[in-house]
Structure 1
Amino acid sequence: MARSVNFVWNFVHELSQRSIKERGVFLSAFDMHPYTKGVGK
């Protein structure tokens, strides 16, 4: 289970870094929701 959590954490971190680099905006939890939808299934 820890591996799954780490995978999602790394994905969200990479997504945040990319957003900051390209747009200069930090993503909120509301912005990340569509990208992580269905991860818990």
Structure 2
Amino acid sequence: PSMDSYIRLISCYLIEYAEDWETSRCYIRKDILQHILARRKAA
């Protein structure tokens, strides 16, 4: 494989990896954050 094809392969992998973190692997999920905020408002 050429250097260009290697760079394309790695770029695609990194884009896919970043999308996984944006959608399913975040540190604090939206529903948990909403639950915490609701409890703070109730207190």
TM-score range normalised by the length of the shorter chain: 0.5 to 0.7
TM-score normalised to structure 2 length: 0.55
Aligned length: 25
Gaps of 5+ in 2: 27-43
Which TM-score applies when normalising by structure 1? 0.57
Runs of 4 or more off by more than 4 Å in structure 1? none
Relative to total residues, which structure has the larger helix share, 1 or 2? 2
Structure number with larger C-alpha Rg: 2
Q: Give the RMSD, CA atoms, in angstroms.
A: 1.2
Partner residue in 2 for 1:11: 12
Q: Which has the higher contact order (CA 8 A, sep 6+)?
A: 1
- 1:5 Cα deviation from its structure 2 partner: 0.2
Q: Give ranges in structure 1 of 5+ residues lacking alignment.
A: 26-41
- State how far apart, in whole Å, the 2-side matches of 1:21 and 1:10 are: 17
Structure 1 vs Structure 2: percent identity of aligned residues? 4
